[in-house]
C-alpha cells in the first residue's frame, strides 16, 4: 500500500508532529508499505495528485491538521485517510464546542466559560484553568488563583488564539483513555512532577510518571465514558480522552484528542502495548 504521512504543519505543535510522523513512517516502512512523508505546504495538492496514495496517515497536531481543514481537502481530492472526518475533527478541536456536546450527552465535564478576544470573562471561581480553545499538547495552559492572574493569562493567550476557555480547576489526578478502532484502551494515570501536566511535562523525559489504573470499577467507568464521548462527537479510528478524577473518585472529561501523539513518550501507544498491541500492529490496524 502507498501511504502518505502528513507531518509538521503550521501549528505550535509542529515539533511534536514531526516526531509522531517519523515514528509512523518508520513503522509503515517496516511493515512493507511504500511510505512517503509530506509536510503541509503550498504544493501539497499537486504532490498528492502526483503520488496518488492509497491512503493518507494524518500525523498533524493542532490547527490545520487536527481541526478538519486537511480532512476536507482530502475529501475533495477523493483520497482516503486515517482518523476522524471534517465535522468530528472540527468539534473536538474546539474545546468549547466539545464541552457543549459532552454536557448535552450528560457526560461530566468541569464548569467553564468561553472568552473571545475583547470580552471580559464572567468568572469568579478560583483556582481556574485557562487555555486556548483551539490548541493541543497543553500549549498555553495556565492555572490562575485570582482575577489579576486571569487577566495576565488572557493577555498572553491572545497571541495564540481568539477564543479561550476558563474552566473550573478539579483537584485530583489526571487520567487518559485511548480509543483504538472504537475499542477503549487501558486507562493511564499521569503524575507530572511539577503538579500540572503542561507542554514541558508531556514532552520532557522524566518530567512525568505513568501508571495503569487497577480499580476495576473506575477502569470500566472511564472506558465507558471515553467511548461515549468518542461516539458523541462522531469520531473514527482513534482518539484519546483526557480526564480529571476528583478527590471523591468522580471523573470529568477535559478534552478529546483526535490525533494522539505517537512519540516515545506518548500515552496512546503506551496503552496499546499494555493491551498487547505493539506500535507496528497499531499502525497496521489504523491503515486497514
pLDDT tens digits, 110-130: 999 999 999 999 999 999 999
| Domains detected in the chain | 2-82 (3.40.50.20), 91-108+171-287 (3.30.470.20), 112-168 (3.30.1490.20)
Task: Please give the pLDDT value at position 274.
Answer: 97
- Taking 80 as the threshold, does the pLDDT of residue 55 lie above it? yes
The answer to whether the Cα torsion of 13, 19, 24, 28 is positive or negative is: positive
Catalytic residue annotation:
13, 137, 203, 240, 242, 255, 257, 261
Q: What confidence category does residue 140 fall into, taking pLDDT thresholds of 50, 70 and 90?
A: confident
Peptide bond into 127 cis (omega under 30): yes
Q: Which of 86-95, 253-262, 263-272 has the lowest mean pLDDT?
A: 263-272
DSSP E strand boundaries for the chain: 2-7, 34-39, 55-58, 112-116, 128-132, 142-144, 163-168, 172-180, 183-184, 188-192, 208-212, 238-246, 251-257
- Taking 60 as the threshold, does the pLDDT of residue 137 lie above it? no
Mean pLDDT of the chain: 94
- Taking 60 as the threshold, does the pLDDT of residue 89 lie above it? yes
Query: Average pLDDT for residues 163-175, to the nearest whole number?
Result: 96
Task: Please give the pLDDT value at position 34.
Answer: 98
Query: Average pLDDT for residues 61-74, to the nearest whole number?
Result: 94
Task: Please give the pLDDT value at position 63.
Answer: 87
CB atoms within 10 A of CB 273: 15
Task: Please give the pLDDT value at position 135.
Answer: 79
Q: What confidence category does residue 195 fall into, taking pLDDT thresholds of 50, 70 and 90?
A: low
Instruction: Please report, for residues 121, 129, 175, the alpha-carbon distance to residue 103 in angstroms, rounded to integers and kept in the order given.
Output: 21, 18, 19
Task: Please give the pLDDT value at position 264.
Answer: 74
pLDDT tens digits, 196-226: 666 565 666 677 899 999 999 999 999 999 9
Amino acid at each position: 500500500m502507498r501511504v502518505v504521512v502528513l507531518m509538521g504543519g503550521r501549528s505550535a505543535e509542529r515539533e511534536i508532529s514531526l516526531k509522531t510522523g517519523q515514528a509512523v513512517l518508520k513503522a509503515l516502512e517496516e511493515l512493507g508499505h511504500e511510505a512517503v512523508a509530506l509536510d503541509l505546504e503550498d504544493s501539497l495538492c499537486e504532490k498528492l495528485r502526483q503520488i496518488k496514495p492509497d491512503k493518507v496517515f494524518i500525523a498533524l497536531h493542532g490547527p490545520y491538521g487536527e481541526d478538519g481543514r486537511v480532512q476536507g481537502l482530502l475529501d475533495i481530492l477523493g483520497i482516503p485517510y486515517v482518523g476522524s472526518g471534517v465535522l468530528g475533527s472540527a468539534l473536538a478541536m474546539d474545546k468549547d464546542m466539545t464541552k457543549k456536546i459532552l454536557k448535552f450527552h450528560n457526560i461530566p465535564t468541569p464548569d467553564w466559560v468561553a472568552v473571545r478576544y475583547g470580552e471580559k470573562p464572567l468568572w469568579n471561581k478560583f483556582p481556574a484553568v485557562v487555555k486556548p480553545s483551539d490548541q493541543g499538547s497543553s500549549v498555553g495552559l495556565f492555572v490562575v488563583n485570582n482575577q489579576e492572574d486571569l487577566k495576565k493569562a488572557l493577555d498572553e493567550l491572545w497571541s495564540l488564539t481568539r477564543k479561550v476557555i476558563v474552566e473550573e480547576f478539579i483537584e485530583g489526578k489526571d487520567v487518559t483513555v485511548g480509543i483504538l478502532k472504537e475499542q477503549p484502551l487501558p486507562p493511564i494515570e499521569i503524575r507530572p512532577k511539577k503538579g500540572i501536566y503542561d507542554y514541558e511535562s508531556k514532552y520532557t523525559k522524566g518530567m512525568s510518571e505513568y501508571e495503569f489504573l487497577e480499580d476495576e470499577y473506575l477502569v470500566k467507568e472511564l472506558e465507558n465514558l471515553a467511548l461515549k464521548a468518542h461516539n458523541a462527537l462522531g469520531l473514527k479510528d482513534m482518539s484519546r480522552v483526557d480526564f480529571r478524577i476528583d478527590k471523591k473518585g468522580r471523573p470529568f472529561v477535559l478534552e478529546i484528542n483526535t490525533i494522539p501523539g505517537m512519540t516515545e513518550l506518548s500515552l496512546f501507544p503506551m496503552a496499546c502495548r499494555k493491551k498487547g498491541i505493539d506500535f507496528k500492529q497499531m499502525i497496521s490496524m489504523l491503515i486497514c
